A and B are shown apart, each in its own frame.
Chain A
Amino acid sequence: MTDAPPPPSLDEMLGLEAGPSFDVLRAPREFFADVRELVRVARRTVHFTITGERRPFAIANQMYEIGYRSAAFLCISMGFIGMIFVYQAGIQIRRLIPDTSQLGATFLELLVRDLAASICALLLATRVGAGIAAEIGSMVVTEQLDALRMCAADPIDYLVRPRFVASLAMTLVLTVLAGCVAFLSGMWTAYAFFAMNPRTFADASLVDFGDVAIGLTKCLAYGAAVPIISAYSGLVTRGGSEGVGQATTRAVVMSSLAVIVLNFVISTIGYSLFG
């Protein structure tokens, strides 16, 4: 316990500025430590969801926040996506075969199975994920989180759980809603650009149980992953308001990545099961 300054770090000894090359070893280690903590948070969230005290008002409040603030953005984006997808697909198919009759059916199948859930989740990760991380992050840096713990209120129960439940429910609702919007806008695009009869387009014959199951699973998986990852980013905020900004962007990026990875995993499993 002397007053000597701490020994020089490896970087200092080599006369190098701390650059990304030396972070290569640190980053994966930190990443896995993060993942372990994240899993802990996830487990406790689910635990409180099942066993915690009933606080319906908090959940309803969060559902309103998520639903109201994102619905318009989601529907407009999905409307555009429906148009773009049907247009691009139509052009390409016509290069191959003149018959575009399956366009609507294929589009609907893809929508149900993947597109609606995944794209909505990516957009929600941007809005909702950033919002959750910012709210919880601010509470951390203004010591409100400490104050909660002092009153024997578990922050995960109080803050994360309502957002988790609300996100599960609203992701499902919003996905279905936005999916309908996408389908309708696709229908209009097919009519306007390929003179396709809307009735031909509105063909649900290719959608089977497997597709619905996969789409639903994705909805629930995304709806669970985004709030937990974002809340975790908020909870580990360090360093004042700058830290809150960093937490926000980290939440958005990590949630989006999680959506993509989950998409691949669920799609592959679904394909092997249902074909």
Chain B
Amino acid sequence: MSDLFTSLGSFFIGAAGTVGSMGVLFGRILSRLVRLDLDGNELLTNLYKMGVRSLPIVFVTAIFTGGIMVVQAAPTIERYGAHQLLGWGAGFGTLREVGPLLTALMISGRVGANNTAELGTMVVTEQFDALRALAIDPISFLIAPRFVGIVATLFLSTIFADVLALVGAAYAGLPLLGVEPRTFYDGLTSGLLGTGDVLHGLVKSVIFGVVMALASCEFGMTTEGGAPGVGRAVNATVVVTAAGIFVVDYLLSFAL
């Protein structure tokens, strides 16, 4: 029984330590960003790389998710004859929750994990130390560009995903419920949904991006133990990002 408490206790202490390190890292990155002290080349390379990697996944996920939302709402819509409201129903779910959440989870697997693997491999092959020996600040050269890259990728992907999901939903509405895309669009813009809802989702996506970027960079930089260590770091990134996103989602839902 005391074993359980010990492991629970050490888990929370470890978790607190990690969150703390992530906070410190955030501070260090911010101080570079404020001074615009980051490598432009690296920034562009990362933006391109991460964007290209995410596009196919986001595309497929978003379209299918749009369809799923319609199918799930269908029984309720049929029951109340509320076909006019399909646009609204799919809209609020997508814009406020499903869009940012699902996009973040899918991109975490691609971009977040890959980033950790790259950084981790650099650490275990001593490239990090080599940079420092050349008097190059690893944070502004490597980390800050990736941070911006991940946040930007997530933000843009969420917008992309929102649009695609709604398009998918609109066209799924026709065969499944006989709802014309025109009606769907009207339901969307009828005034029950406002720019507030759109912003709610977008702010979430930025914050998810920060969580993902911090977790990914943190675990990448603190990798130890050779190649198996990189694997462990990647695993930790994916799990912590997912958990962090849920917790943040919960907190934001009540705060905003």
Give chain A's interface residues, CB within 8 Å of chain B: 20, 73, 76-77, 80-81, 83-85, 87-88, 92, 95-96, 106, 109-110, 113-114, 122-123, 126-127, 130-131, 134, 138, 240-242, 244-246, 248-249, 252-253, 256-257, 260-261, 263-264, 267-268, 271, 275
Contacts and interface: CB of A to CB of B under 8 A. Distances in A.
Q: Which 9 pairs show the lowest CB-CB distances between chains A and B?
A: A241-B227, A267-B71, A249-B113, A253-B109, A252-B109, A264-B64, A245-B117, A80-B250, A80-B246
Contacts of A134: 231, 235
B81 interface: no
B31 interface: no
A260 B85 CA distance: 24
A261 B72 CA distance: 14
Contacts of B114: 249
Contacts, number: 115
A88 B92 CA distance: 9
B17 interface: no
B5 interface: no
Contact of A84 (B92, B97, B110): B97
Contact of B249 (A80, A92, A242, A267): A80
A127 B96 CA distance: 26
A33 B121 CA distance: 30
Q: DSSP class of B's interface residues: helix, strand, loop or mixed?
A: helix
Given A88-B253, A252-B113, A252-B238, A275 B105 contact: no
B57 interface: yes
A123 B242 CA distance: 8
Contacts of A76: 243
Interface of B: 52, 57, 60-61, 64-65, 67-68, 71-72, 74-76, 78, 85, 92, 96-97, 105-106, 109-110, 113-114, 117, 121, 176, 192, 226-228, 230-231, 234-235, 238-239, 242-243, 246-247, 249-250, 253-254
Contacts of A249: 109-110, 113-114, 117, 234, 238
A88 B96 contact: yes
A73 B243 contact: yes
Contact of A260 (B65, B72, B97, B246): B65
A77 B64 contact: no
A260 B242 contact: no
Nearest to B232: A134
A257 B192 contact: no
Contacts of B71: 264, 267-268, 271
B250 A253 contact: no
Nearest to A115: B72
Contact of A87 (B64, B117, B226, B254): B254
A242 B113 CA distance: 12
A248 B235 contact: yes
B33 to A, nearest CB: 27
A253 B176 contact: no
A240 B228 CA distance: 10
Given A80-B246, A122-B105, A275-B75, A263 B64 contact: yes
A268 B228 CA distance: 42
Given A114-B72, A248-B234, A257 B57 contact: yes
Nearest to B75: A275
A194 B201 CA distance: 23
Contact of B235 (A80, A130, A240, A260): A130
A184 to B, nearest CB: 16
Contacts of A245: 113, 117, 230-231, 234
Nearest to B85: A96
6 contacts: A73-B239, A80-B246, A80-B249, A126-B239, A241-B231, A271-B71
B114 to A, nearest CB: 6
B64 A126 contact: no
Contact of A20 (B52, B78, B113, B227): B52
Contact of B250 (A84, A113, A244): A84
Nearest to B112: A249
Nearest to A263: B68
Contacts of A80: 246-247, 249-250
A77 B243 contact: yes
Given A240-B227, A248-B235, A249-B114, A271 B249 contact: no
A87 B243 CA distance: 19
Residue among B65, B68, B249, B253 with most chain A CB within 10 A = B68
Nearest to B76: A106
A257 B113 contact: no
Contact of B121 (A242, A268, A275): A242
B106 A256 contact: yes
A252 B113 CA distance: 10
Contacts of B76: 106
A130 B97 contact: no
